[in-house]
Amino acid sequence: MSAPVRACIGLGGNMGEVAATLRSALAAIDALPATRLLRTSRFYRTPAWGVQAQPDFINAVAVLETTLGARALLEALLAIERDHGRERAEDGSRWGPRTLDLDLLLHGDAVVDEPGLVVPHPLLHVRAFVLVPLAEVAPDAVVPGLGRADALLAGIDASGIAPSGPGEPARGVRS
């Protein structure tokens, strides 16, 4: 068995009961084998990115400890998306409305560039909707080749991103 690593997962959605879907996805992530959910950010309301003519998103970040490799973890995340009604466009189009989006942002200090798997997430450092919750729960997380999450956040515009409401505080799941 491999040594556990800290992984960071981006969560988001803008269709249906998004907050309930994100809570359900967090429970499913925590139930993955060889994986323990350590901390989750608050939920943030964020403007749509990419295709802007769609409802705002709710985004969060989860920090977990896992012995799953990056590919196995990604496959598990894609299965959780499907279980929550996510349908990926067959034409490869991106950034449209979705019930649930789970992105593998970081997997320890791994740098992976394979078909269907790029870690760290290639747009992590320019997406305020990811960096705001990431810096909340793991400000010291290092994006290989780019720096710490808190420093990356300080260098971009995060206006328009705000907590989605009370009752979604950052929390440690297990001690």
Catalytic residues: 86, 98, 101, 103
CA atoms within 13 A on the CB side of 121: 20
Long-range contacts of the stretch 75-80 (C-beta < 8 A, 24+) = 76/32, 76/35, 77/9, 77/29, 77/102, 77/103, 77/104, 78/102, 80/25, 80/28, 80/29
Torsion of CA 58, 35, 110, 9, to 10 degrees: 0
